[in-house]
């Protein structure tokens, strides 16, 4: 069965460019982004991992670790990281998982079940489904998942935006509207009655419809 939002993120042990990890232990009490790419030494993936390296400090500020994955071995990751830094201007300082036996890729339904047992002989084209993103919360549950086609580089600014939204809505009984960005108005969720909303939002709100109540973003 495919993984869904609020499913527990499967735990695993794996080799990475920063040594062996057990995923749940590695996450600890914070948040995590697990993102995969089709193959090392390919053009779109090079731009993606370089951009993510440039965003790492932003994820750090939000207590969110990031970790990459592909079915290439760790040694290939380490060699490719030099190309990423050279061409994209950012050194990859987050760990990258080597998954040549496809264990994690299958565990997270990133590849077809009949994908074989190793990455040997596989190309970027046969790894087309491995361009996914999972956001995992401190409770080790999946909060968001994305899957992109092989020809389309991901928008990691959007991943950061989703993280901001999910962290905000975990702390307050609000939701974020279309194209919301940090600091903009939010929506009081329908489960909160007007009476309860008066206690939570004493400065009031704008009622567009009874089910659509707009309020400034709460401050922690």
Strand pairing class (31-36; 64-70) = parallel
Q: Do residue 176 and residue 89 come from a single domain? A: no
Respond yes or no: is residue 64 known to be catalytic.
no
Domain total in the chain: 2
The answer to whether the beta carbons of residues 30 and 67 sit under 8 Å apart is no
Q: How far apart are CA 41 and CA 138, in angstroms?
A: 33
The answer to whether the beta carbons of residues 119 and 102 sit under 8 Å apart is yes
- Does residue 160 lie within any of the structural domains? no
**Which residues does 70 contact at the CB level (< 8 Å), separation at least 6?**
36, 37, 38, 39, 40, 45, 77, 96, 97, 98, 99, 127, 130
- pLDDT < 50 regions, the chain: none
The answer to whether the beta carbons of residues 14 and 104 sit under 8 Å apart is yes
Residue 204 belongs to what domain range? 172-215
Beta partners for 142? 136
Set 9, 32, 44, 45: catalytic member: 45
Task: Find, among 164, 147, 135, the residue nearest to 31 by Cα.
Answer: 135
| pTM for the full predicted model | 0.92
Per-residue pLDDT reduced to its tens digit, 31-71? 999 999 999 999 999 999 999 999 999 999 999 999 999 99
Question: Which of residues 125, 154, 183 is at a domain's end?
Answer: 154
Per-residue pLDDT reduced to its tens digit, 116-132? 677 776 666 666 667 89
- Does residue 162 lie within any of the structural domains? no
């Amino acid at each position: 069965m495919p993984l869904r939002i609020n499913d527990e993120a499967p735990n695993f042990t794996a080799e990475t460019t920063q040594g062996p990890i057990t995923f749940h232990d590695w996450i600890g009490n914070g948040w995590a982004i697990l993102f995969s790419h089709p193959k090392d030494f390919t053009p779109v993936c090079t731009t993606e991992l370089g951009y993510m390296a440039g965003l790492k400090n932003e994820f750090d500020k939000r207590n969110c670790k990031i970790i990459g994955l592909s079915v290439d071995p760790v040694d290939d990751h380490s060699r490719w990281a030099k190309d990423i830094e050279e061409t994209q201007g950012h050194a990859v300082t987050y760990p990258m998982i080597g998954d040549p036996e496809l264990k994690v890729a299958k565990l997270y339904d990133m590849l077809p079940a009949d994908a074989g047992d190793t990455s040997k002989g596989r190309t970027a084209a046969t790894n087309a489904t491995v361009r996914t993103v999972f956001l995992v919360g401190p409770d080790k549950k999946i909060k968001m998942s994305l899957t992109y086609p092989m020809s389309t580089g991901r928008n990691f600014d959007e991943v950061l935006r989703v993280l901001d939204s999910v962290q905000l809505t975990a702390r307050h009984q609000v939701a974020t509207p279309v194209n919301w960005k940090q600091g903009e108005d939010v929506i009081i969720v329908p489960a909160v009655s007007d009476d309860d909303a008066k206690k939570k939002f004493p400065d009031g709100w704008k009622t567009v419809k009874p089910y659509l109540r707009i309020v400034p973003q709460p401050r922690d």
